[in-house]
Amino acid sequence: MEKTLIVRLTFARQSGVLMTIKAVVVDVDGTLTDLDKVISTSGIEALREVQRKGVPVSIASGNVLPVTYGLSTYLGLKGPMVAENGGVVCYQERIYQLSEGVLPEQAYEHLRTKMPVERLFTDNWRRTEVALRRTMDVERVKAELKGWNVTIEVTGFAIHLMDPGHGKAAGVRKVAEILGIGMSEIASFGDSDNDVGMLRECGESVAVANASPAAKGAAKYVSAYPHAAGVIDGLKRLGLL
């Protein structure tokens, strides 16, 4: 692993504790992109500047690994990649599968007998969870799966059926393990309910202005700016830009 520059900063906490950030983890949909899934080039340039200072940047996405891998590679990001909401982590072409995905598939098959369901196109490559189109009735999905030991995560773009314990926080813990750092040394950025775990567990965390109430409640800082502008604002507040 390349030697990282340790960035020391004060995050305007009441405690005034001096923190150390050694890695950045950022969600994609709704955080680096707008609601039409168009990615912000200014946000990417900001993250590249952070890396030029020696702090690796990781994507933490609900998307499948082929999409996450391609995006991370072409954007020039160097940190381990978190895909499928933490079910899969990839670094230097080594894949770590953190969840089995058997129970979510069984729950999906049960759900098909109760109501019309439609999976995302990217589920053709999904291995640890099931992702349903966001146009479905979320409350009915929850009602039909009552009693099933599955986690249901809802984002602005999909409904995810996952194993218990499956989540972005688990994926980011694996990132910390790979990089040889602690969760307290990671800054995370997100906007949705599926980002809550990592926002809560990381040493520093930023929710963009368009974030869900749960994401805002879990973050250490809530930006007044939406999407990538909020990421840039958070990076500046953290002293990374």
Q: Which residues are catalytic, by number?
A: 27
Q: What are phi and psi of 167, to 5 degrees?
A: 175, 165
The residues, ordered by sequence, that sit 6+ positions from 31 with a Cβ below 8 Å of its Cβ are 189, 190, 191, 195, 208, 227, 228, 230, 231
- List the structure tokens of 232: 């840039």
Closest alpha carbon to 203 in 22, 34, 2, 61: 22
Strands 186-190 vs 204-207: parallel, antiparallel or unpaired: parallel
Rounded to whole angstroms, how far apart are CA atoms 219 and 208?
9
CA 35 to chain centre: 16
- List the structure tokens of 83: 């895909």
DSSP for residue 125:
S
